[in-house]
Amino acid sequence: MSSTTQQPKIDFQDVTRVYEVNKSEFYAVNGVNLAVADGEFITIVGPSGCGKSTLLNLAAGLDDPSAGQVLVDGLAVKGPGPDRGVIFQQYALFPWLTVRKNVEFGLKVAKVSATERRHRAQEVIELVGLTDFAESLPKTLSGGMKQRCAIARAYAANPNLLLMDEPFGALDALTRVRMQEQLLETWSKQRRTVLFITHDVDESVYLANRVVVMAARPGRIKEVIEVPLPYPRTEETRLSPAFVEIRNRVWHAVYHQE
Ligand SMILES: Nc1ncnc2c1ncn2[C@@H]1O[C@H](COP(=O)(O)OP(=O)(O)OP(=O)(O)O)[C@@H](O)[C@H]1O
């Protein structure tokens, strides 16, 4: 199959989600079309309430469209599945379990054998740089480490699609930059498809192959902006004129909405 005919990993086809608010219809998202290629890193930015989480939840199978459909690997999403790892801003770790046990939890539920669980947990804990904290409880970890643990837990199930809703939103600026670098490093090794929501324009450009800018009322795609900057991206990337130029375009699209 040539790359031009490859089936998208995620395909939002004319997706609309309507809520009933005060007896009238409210379009959280309206007529969204977006095809995400396998291995692509897509970020979604836009003002509060423009439907970013709605789109992510539809891809995760946590919600159903009112019209249109979301396809993953060519099949309509019918509910959550182990092929899709979801990571939210709140880490939602079990406070009474160690990092290792938190990471193994989902595998245990999925009845993966104890040996295999250990092996997989070890691998992903190493990947996110938490080896020295594998036996620690969440309360002893920093915010960034907790989020790395949540990411490791999502990776452990070996999803080929990562759905991330403002995962670094609660972190301080420096930790956030480190987490972005680490996420890109992992992504370069494994090339899982990523759909990543953020409020941060710099973050959206730094991470993505393409930035999807949304507009509100009704929630819709306003513009899709390519980021043809090479990986690995570094501090130099952030300072380069090409980065600044794209950042300015995204900024303009987000903040100058009619
Ligand atoms: N269950 C619901 N019932 C009614 N309206 C809803 C419901 N869920 C979401 N909405 C509305 O749909 C719109 C889109 O919500 P969504 O959470 O997707 O936006 P968002 O872009 O992720 O916002 P934010 O950046 O603030 O997280 C919002 O106006 C929200 O109030």
54 Cβ inside 6 Å of ligand 1: yes
Q: Are 207 and 229 in contact (CB under 8 A)?
A: no
Separation CA 25–CA 27 (nearest Å): 6
Residue type present at position 123: E
Q: Which residues of the chain have pLDDT under 70?
A: 1-5, 257-258
Please tell me the total count of domains within the chain.
2
Domain presence at residue 229: yes
Listed in sequence order, the DSSP H helices in the chain are 52-60, 99-109, 114-127, 143-156, 173-190, 201-207, 235-239, 241-255
pTM over 0.80: yes
**Are 3 and 63 contained in the same domain?**
yes
Q: Are 185 and 232 in contact (CB under 8 A)?
A: yes
**Are 217 and 244 contained in the same domain?**
yes
Query: What CATH number is associated with residue 207?
Result: 3.40.50.300
Q: Residue 149 is part of which domain span?
A: 84-158
25 Cβ inside 6 Å of ligand 1: no
pLDDT on residue 238: 94
> Is the four-CA dihedral 134, 139, 142, 147 of positive or negative sign?
positive
Domain presence at residue 235: yes
Prior bond of 65 cis (ω within 30°): no
With the most atoms of ligand 1 within 8 angstroms of its CB, the residue from 12, 17, 19, 22 to mutate is 19
**Are 138 and 205 contained in the same domain?**
no
With the most atoms of ligand 1 within 8 angstroms of its CB, the residue from 16, 22, 24, 52 to mutate is 52
Residues in the chain: 258
Closest residue CA from atom 12 of ligand 1: 28
Residue type present at position 51: G
pLDDT on residue 1: 44
**Are 7 and 48 contained in the same domain?**
yes
Query: Atom of ligand 1 at shortest distance to CA of 214?
Result: 21
21 Cβ inside 6 Å of ligand 1: yes
Q: Are 16 and 67 in contact (CB under 8 A)?
A: yes
Within 8 A by CB and 6+ apart from 228, the residues are none
Last residue of a domain, one of 114, 138, 158: 158
Q: For residue 228, give both structure tokens.
A: 């043809």
Distance of CA 5 from the midpoint of ligand 1 (Å): 34
49 Cβ inside 6 Å of ligand 1: yes
**Are 75 and 100 contained in the same domain?**
no
